[in-house]
Amino acid sequence: MGSFARSSGYFQCCWHSGTLIAETAIGEFNSGDNIETGTEVFFTAVPDPGQQVKEWTVNGEVVAGNATNYLSVEVLASLNVTVEFEAAVGFDDIHFANLKLYPNPIVSEVTIIGARNSTLEIVNLLGAIIKTQAITHDRETIQLNDLSSGVYFFRVSRDGQSRTVQVIKR
């Protein structure tokens, strides 16, 4: 007979300079919610404008080499995840200073914020553009059920400027 255990997951942002989103394959959860042991949790840090991720910690230990906006952790026991932000250096991309894209990894849809009146190109690892879509509103949700699992680059462009975000599709 198999055992079933649940662990609590706690997560927080330091310095209140952004948002931290936590998701499992079945959806978002809140800090303190119980999560089944063995579940993979995907964290997305969304820094405020002019901020970037400084570091992640898991159960008090710094995650070496990860200053990205994404972290994936398997819940084995009680889990405490923290992300710390710092001022971004050389942040001169005025069109996309408020660009946010979540969740990442993506299951079936992605929400893009701060890209009004721009163009989204989804590029595969070979550099081929596999989808192009106009972004007309400040907040748009795009269905990606037809996108195969893998790694992609989402390039948002407007007025000669662009910003590219690496995205994982599950």
Query: CATH number of the domain at 100-169, please?
Result: 2.60.40.3080
CB 35 within 8 A of CB 75: yes
23-69 pLDDT per residue, tens = 887 877 777 777 788 888 888 888 777 677 888 888 888 888 777 77
pLDDT band at 147 (very low <50, low <70, confident <90, very high): very high
Residue 3: how many CB atoms within 10 A of its CB? 5
Q: Is the pLDDT of residue 8 over 60?
A: no
**What is the predicted pLDDT for the residue at 140?**
93
Mean predicted confidence (pLDDT) in 144-161: 88
Ranges for all domains in the chain classified under CATH 2.60.40.3080? 100-169
* β 6-14/79-87 pair status: parallel
C-alpha dihedral (92, 96, 97, 98), degrees to nearest 10: 180
Quote the mean pLDDT of the chain: 79
Q: How many CB atoms lie within 10 A of CB 29?
A: 17
Task: Tell me the pLDDT tens digit for each residue of 72-92.
Answer: 888 877 778 888 887 765 444
